Amino acid sequence: MNPARFERITGQYPKLRIGVLGDFCLDRYLEIDPAKTETSIETGLPVHNVVSVRPQPGGAGTIVNNLSALGIGRIYPIGFAGDDGEGFELWRALERVPGVELKRFVRSSRRRTFTYCKPLLLSPGKAPVELNRLDSKNWTPTPEAVEGELIANLAATAEEADAMVVLDQVDIPETGAVTTRVLARVQRILETQPLKPIIADSRRGLRGYPPVIFKMNASELASLTGAVAQLALPDIKAAAAALARKNARTVVVSLAANGILGASANGQVCHIPALPIRGEIDVVGAGDAVSANLISALAGGATLEEALELANAAASVVIHKLGTTGTASVAEIAELILR
């Protein structure tokens, strides 16, 4: 990509309005100083002394963080948090993200705030070491009243936004923000606004989703299409192209160390190899950076190949940020693409 195209695409970002529908969680990092370890008098067990608590939006909030890092003008989170302490922390963390408008974010006493509590051992001169995570989730179906608020907020956002992202982060179906009823509203948006870019990603796979832009990894593609799980690159290209033709929408497949691949409905297939590793890495958050950069680039007028190149570079930036779910700014991406 030449500098002129890079500037033209990313120069559109401050004008864009992007909605993010999905499962927002609180990433609460507990920073532990190993030098301050004690032994509990009562239990005889080691005591980890927390010297700092760092809350930040996670799950769909990671996509919001990445959109903000890119300088997107307005970002509309569509999801829910509980009426609890973690929900307060999540709301405050989202409030602090530049560009975010929380008018369509639901607080409900009927839901717990989805929380990843991540203890980190921080030693001078060493990479952070994450201990066993402590998670808080919802184990029951999302109440109809909460679904109704989400659907209304989704419909309103679709009228304003230039593009949208859908992220299903929960392990148990129907317990998060992206329920069957909510997906039915996504389908209606697709039918009434067929040119609006909408990208979807789900940790449980995209089977049953409306034919928006599908973003997945190779295993998820194989599961969805019935192909052999360990596909070679030519097979992945063929499977992605067939799915794109079937859905009449672009399909994007992340390939970890092999980069990223995209197939369009008209038969175009692009593969962007991964950038070289530049040190120790942590892959947490790379997929969300890809989603955020893909939707921003496409909404900003990029071709499929250009959007893939930007997303691939963003993932490379993020995996080199340790001890956090990182983001990639336009300047950081430019350093990799334009050098």
- pLDDT, residue 30, reads 95
C-alpha 336/C-alpha 319 separation (Å) is 13
63-120 pLDDT, tens digit each: 999 999 999 999 999 999 999 999 999 999 999 999 999 999 999 999 999 999 999 9
Three-state SS string across the chain, please? CCHHHHHHHHCCHHHCEEEEEECEEEEEEEEECHHHCEECCCCCCEECCEEEEEEEEEEHHHHHHHHHHCCCCEEEEECEEECCHHHHHHHHHHHCCCCECCCCCEEECCCCCCEEEEEEECCCCCCCEECCCEEECCCCCCCHHHHHHHHHHHHHHHHHCCEEEEEECCCCCCCCCCCHHHHHHHHHHHHHCCCCCEEEEECCCCCCCCCCEEEEEHHHHHHHHCCCCCCCHHHHHHHHHHHHHHHCCCEEEECHHHCEEEECCCCCEEEECCCCCCCCCCCCCHHHHHHHHHHHHHHCCCCHHHHHHHHHHHHHHHHCCCCCCCCCCHHHHHHHHCC
pLDDT of residue 127: 83
d(CA 86, CA 104): 18
Q: What pLDDT score was predicted for residue 321?
A: 83
The type of residue at 37 is T
* pLDDT score, position 228: 59
CATH code that applies to domain 3-26+58-337: 3.40.1190.20
Residue spans of the domains in the chain: they are: 3-26+58-337
Spatial separation of the C-alpha atoms in residues 333 and 6, rounded to whole Å: 10
d(CA 24, CA 56): 11
In sequence order, the 6+-apart residues with CB closer than 8 A to the CB of 191 are: none
Percent of the chain with pLDDT over 90: 85
Q: Note the pLDDT of residue 152.
A: 98
Residues 19 and 155 sit within 8 Å (Cβ to Cβ): no
- Please tell me the predicted confidence (pLDDT) of residue 125: 85
Residue 251 structure tokens: 């399909």
Q: How many C-beta neighbours within 10 Å does residue 217 have?
A: 16
Residue 325 to residue 69: CA distance in whole angstroms = 13
Which of 311, 303, 244, 256 lies closest to 283, judged by CA? 256
For position 320, what pLDDT does the model report?
Answer: 83
- How far is the C-alpha of 91 from the C-alpha of 105, rounded, in Å? 9
Residues of the chain with pLDDT below 50 are none
| Cα–Cα distance list, 252 to 13, 249, 267 (Å) | 21, 10, 13
Tokens of 207: 């089977």
Model's pTM, two decimal places?
0.92
96's tokens:
């602090």
Q: Which residue has the tokens 């120790």?
A: 280
Task: Assess contact for 111 and 142: CB atoms under 8 A.
Answer: yes
